[in-house]
Amino acid sequence: MAETTVSERELQEFLLYLGSALTVAGEAVNQIQDRLVRVAAAYGAPDARVSVFPTFLVVSLDASRPTTQEPTRQLYGGLRLDQTAELYRLLYRAEHAGIDPAEGSRAVRRLVAMPPRFGPVVRVTGHAVLTVGICMILIPTWADLLLAGLFGVLVGVFKLAGARWPSVQMIMPVVAAFTVAGLTFLITNTGWNEADLRAMVAPLATFLPGAMLTMAVVELSAYEMVTGSSRLVAGILQLLLLAFGIIGAAQVVGVPPPAAPADVAVNTIGWWATWLGPLIVGIGNYFMLAGPPRSLGWLCLVLYAGWIGQYVGNLMFGGYLSGFVGALALTIVAYLVERMPSGPPALVSFLPGFWLLVPGALTLIGVTEYLGQSTVRGAEDLVGAIGSMVAVALGVLCGHPLYRAFKRSVFKEPA
C-alpha cells in the first residue's frame, strides 16, 4: 500500500510538471488537458481529471482521490525552441509509459534549467536577423531596413537583460518601445525622414503578443473561458504598454506620434523582399530561440507554407480570409513535419509563424495611432487587425480536425 501511495504521488507530480511546462511553452489548454489525460491513462489512471488555468493547474487521478495543485510560474517565463523540443520528446515517452514518473519530473526540471545552445552574442545577432526579416515583410525602405537591424541588436540586448532579471520583465516592453521610438524620432529630426513606423515595429516584434492573442481566441472557441480571457487581457495589456512607450517617446522628444501615411515610399528594395522575409525570419528564430539541431530547414518550410497560403488566400478571397488560409496551411504542414524522423514538434515550428500571420504589427500601429492623433485611422487599423486575428484563429481551429481526418484516411491511424 505504501508503494502504491508513493507511485500515485509521483505520477501526480509528473503530470503537474508536464502540464506546467506545456503551459509555459504556449500550448492551448484544451490540448494540454487531453495530453495529460492520455499520459495518466498510460500509467494506469484512466479516470484522471486535469484542469489548466493561466497560472496553475489541478490534477486528480480519479474523483475519489485528493487533487494536487501546481503554480506554473515556478517555471519562470517562456521556453526556448530547444527546450520545447525536449519537452515534447519527454511527453511522447510519457504517453507510452516509457519513463518512470519520478525520473520524468526530474527530466522536466532539467530541461527547464538547461542552458541555451547558443551564446548571448549569437542570440542577439539572431534577434537582429529576425527583425530584418519582419521588416522586409512590412514592405520597407532601405532606411527602414537599416534602422530595424540596428534596433534589433539593441532590443536583443534588452531581452537578454530581462531574462537575467525577471523583476524587470514586466516593464521591458515599455523600456524597449520608449528607447527605439525615441531614437527614431531623434534621427528623423536630423533630416533622415525616410524612416517611419515600420522601422520601430519590426524590432519590437518579439514583444508583440500575436501568438497569445490568437491562442486566446482558440481557447475561447473551445469554451476555455478563464484561460482564454486571461490571455486576451494579457495580450491587450502588452500592446498598450508598447504603445505607451512609443507615445511617451514622442512627447519627450517633441515629435508627433507616427502614423502610416499613404505617401510613404513602399518596397524600395524590390518585389523579392517580402518573399525573402520568411527565410530571414526562420533563420533569426533559429538562432534567437536556440532551435533544436536539424530543425532550421523544417522551420523555414512551415513558415513558407503559411506565407504562401496567406498570399494565395489574399489573391483568391481577400485580406481577412488570407489569414485563415495561411493559418490553415501553417497548422497542417507543422503537424505533417512533426511526423518526419528529424522533424521538430509542431509547436516548435508553429508558434514562430504567428509573426508572419497574426497582424500584431498592424495592431500596434493601430493602438499607437488611436492613442495619438489619428483616431479614425487607428480605429480602422484596430478593427482590421482584430478581424484578421479572428481569421487566423479560425484557421488554426480548422487545421486540427483537418489534419486528424488526413491522418485517419492516409496514414490509417486513429485521430
**Full pLDDT tens readout for the chain, 415 residues:** 334 444 888 898 899 999 989 988 888 888 899 999 999 999 988 888 888 887 888 888 887 777 777 776 555 557 889 999 999 999 999 999 999 999 999 999 999 889 888 999 999 999 999 999 988 887 778 888 888 899 999 999 988 887 777 667 778 889 998 999 888 888 876 665 555 666 777 888 778 777 787 788 778 877 888 888 888 888 888 888 888 888 888 888 876 554 444 445 555 677 788 889 899 999 999 999 888 988 999 999 999 999 898 888 888 887 667 888 888 999 999 999 998 888 899 888 887 887 777 544 455 555 565 555 555 555 566 666 667 777 787 888 888 888 888 887 776 666 5
Residue that terminates a domain, selected from 89, 113, 137: 113
Residue with cell 500596434: 364
Flag whether 245 is in a domain: yes
Both 101 and 130 in a single domain?
A: no
Q: Would you give the distance in Å from CA 317 to the centre of its chain?
A: 26
Which residue range(s) make up the domain with 388?
Answer: 121-410
Both 238 and 336 in a single domain?
A: yes
Identity of residue 311: Y
Where b means 16+ CB within 10 Å and e means fewer, 381-392 reads: bbebbbebbbbb
Both 109 and 125 in a single domain?
A: no
Residue with cell 504567428: 354
Helix (H, G, I), strand (E, B) or coil at 49: strand
pTM: 0.83
The pairs formed by 248-252 with CB atoms below 8 angstroms and a separation of 24 or more are: 248/174, 248/178, 248/181, 249/177, 249/178, 249/179, 249/180, 249/181, 249/182, 249/185, 250/181, 250/185, 250/372, 252/182
Total domain count for the chain? 2
Both 78 and 195 in a single domain?
A: no
The three three-digit cell numbers of residue 23, written as one number = 503551459
The number of CA neighbours under 13 Å toward the Cβ of 320 is 9
**CA pair distance 373, 368, nearest whole angstrom:** 9
Nearest to 26 by CA among 75, 62, 59: 75
Both 167 and 98 in a single domain?
A: no
Residue that terminates a domain, selected from 55, 86, 113: 113
CB 275 within 8 A of CB 303: no
Both 127 and 102 in a single domain?
A: no
Residue that terminates a domain, selected from 90, 113, 136: 113
**CA pair distance 214, 395, nearest whole angstrom:** 10
Both 134 and 106 in a single domain?
A: no
Flag whether 415 is in a domain: no
The three three-digit cell numbers of residue 53, written as one number = 488555468
Flag whether 155 is in a domain: yes
Both 31 and 178 in a single domain?
A: no
Both 199 and 107 in a single domain?
A: no
Residue 199: exposure state from Cβ atoms within 10 A (0-12, 13-18, ≥19): buried
Q: How far is CA 293 from CA 249, 297, 300, 344, in A?
A: 40, 10, 14, 9
CB 346 within 8 A of CB 337: yes
Flag whether 32 is in a domain: yes
CB 194 within 8 A of CB 265: yes
Identity of residue 203: P
